[in-house]
Amino acid sequence: MRIAILSPVAWRTPPRHYGPWEQVASNIAEGLVMQGHDVTLFATADSLTKGKLDAVVKKGYGEDNDQDAKVLECLHISNLMEKSSNFDLIHNNFDFLPLTYSRLIKTPFLTTIHGFSSEKILPVYKKYNQSTQYVSISNSNRSPELDYIATVYNGLNVCDFDFNNSPEDYLLFLGRIHRDKGASEAIQIAIKSNKRLIMAGLIQDTHYFNELIKPFLNEQIQFIGNVGPSQRNKLLGNALALLHPINFKEPFGMSVAESMLCGTPVIAFNKGSMPELIDDGKSGVLVNSIDEAAEAVKTIFHIDRLYCHNWAKSKFSTEKMVTDYIRVYQKIIST
């Protein structure tokens, strides 16, 4: 099967630090190559793949702010579409814009909807609902106005995450520094539970950071900035628990799956996809408030960390994700 994987061009694929969509696109591409498929990854020129790499964008606009994002996106997407006849299927991991080409080509077109940044983008998905196929990354992140061929959970390379059954005595917040991710709430949970908190992630909202995060930084609350895969692995594995007090209906939550793969349970606000990702009371705890989260910290050591690892491995591995996608590809091509 000749498959084109379209990745975003904000960051390298796979990303050096932040870039969840790029990471998933990479895992799909590499997993397909491992299973013997002919894969071409459309991504930035500095991307890494064991398949074929096709690139017209030298470096992601998230890493080089002097570039115009829209110009790069147009060049990137059109590059694939003009070569569409070379493939049996195109798998789009780059949101709604590539859909606007889908009726101009004959190649079957699949889009993984990694989330809706706004309700304002829904009209584009609705327009192409009958002529293309959509996959959701969780059952909770489905629009009632769209049809879906399947739900396929994001998959991670299990070997990249070390299981640790002897954690240190700190809590971890890992994610974008933004209201949506609940960075401020994580601080309040740590204060109420009298635990050390390490915070890592990309500062996406500078005003939010300066107003609600920076004033609380001290010996107990530490912010270390964005981290790469190796440091992330160590932080997750050594943590007593990951705090995930989100303020939005999160489509998936990569850090939640990553944490559990390391054996580290997650204390998360019960929103969005969290009930699908977390086996409540066994791989983490679902809560509804800061106070409930602080109470959960007191008993989190009762969680079996090996169960956390095995739960995540059974549901969120690259192998399972790729197997599920191949099933979807075959269904699309056969019809």
Whether the per-residue pLDDT at 230 is higher than 90: the answer is no
Mean pLDDT score of the chain: 96
Q: Which pLDDT does position 47 carry in this prediction? A: 98
306 and 330 part of one domain: no
306 and 210 part of one domain: yes
Whether the per-residue pLDDT at 228 is higher than 90: the answer is no
Instruction: Find out whether 72 and 95 touch, Cβ atoms under 8 Å.
Output: no
End-to-end CA distance of the chain: 15
Query: In this structure, what token pair is assigned to residue 259?
Result: 């944490």
Domain count, the chain: 2
Whichever domain contains 113, its CATH number is 3.40.50.2000
User: Which residues, at least 6 apart from 284, have a Cβ–Cβ distance to it below 8 Å?
Assistant: 241, 242, 256, 260, 265, 266, 267, 268, 278, 303, 308
104 and 118 part of one domain: yes
* For range 4-18, the mean pLDDT: 94
Whether the per-residue pLDDT at 18 is higher than 90: the answer is no
298 to 190, 266, 270: CA distances (angstroms): 11, 13, 18
290 and 175 part of one domain: yes
- 291-305 pLDDT, tens digit per residue, is 999 999 999 999 999
202 and 306 part of one domain: yes
State whether the Cα torsion 100-101-106-109 is positive or negative: negative
Whether the per-residue pLDDT at 9 is higher than 90: the answer is yes
86 and 205 part of one domain: no
- 52-69 pLDDT, tens digit per residue, is 999 999 999 999 889 999
68 to 62, 75, 76, 309, 315: CA distances (angstroms): 10, 11, 12, 41, 38
Could you tell me the pLDDT band of residue 48, with boundaries at 50, 70 and 90? very high
| 13-17, 150-154, 283-287: the lowest-pLDDT one | 13-17
d(CA 270, CA 142): 17
d(CA 299, CA 95): 40
Instruction: Find out whether 264 and 256 touch, Cβ atoms under 8 Å.
Output: no
What percent of the chain is predicted at pLDDT more than 90? Answer: 95
What residue numbers bound the domain in which 73 lies?
2-155+317-334
CB neighbours of residue 310 within 10 Å? 16
127 and 150 part of one domain: yes
198 and 228 part of one domain: yes
- 118-172 pLDDT, tens digit per residue, is 889 999 999 999 999 999 999 999 999 999 999 999 999 999 999 999 999 999 9
243 and 322 part of one domain: no
309 and 327 part of one domain: no
Whether the per-residue pLDDT at 38 is higher than 90: the answer is yes
User: Which residues, at least 6 apart from 114, have a Cβ–Cβ distance to it below 8 Å?
Assistant: 20, 21, 24, 93, 95, 137, 251, 252
Whether the per-residue pLDDT at 335 is higher than 90: the answer is no
- 172-183 pLDDT, tens digit per residue, is 999 999 999 999
28 and 66 part of one domain: yes
Q: Which pLDDT does position 65 carry in this prediction? A: 86
48 and 136 part of one domain: yes
Distance of CA 305 to the CA centre of its chain: 22
d(CA 122, CA 293): 34
Of 242, 257, 259, 272, residue with least CA distance to 315: 257
d(CA 173, CA 256): 10
Query: In this structure, what token pair is assigned to residue 321?
Result: 């994700």
Instruction: Find out whether 240 and 263 touch, Cβ atoms under 8 Å.
Output: no
Of 4, 22, 5, residue with least CA distance to 13: 22
Whether the per-residue pLDDT at 272 is higher than 90: the answer is yes
pTM across the whole model: 0.93
* For range 312-317, the mean pLDDT: 97
Whether the per-residue pLDDT at 77 is higher than 90: the answer is yes
d(CA 143, CA 138): 11
Whether the per-residue pLDDT at 51 is higher than 90: the answer is yes
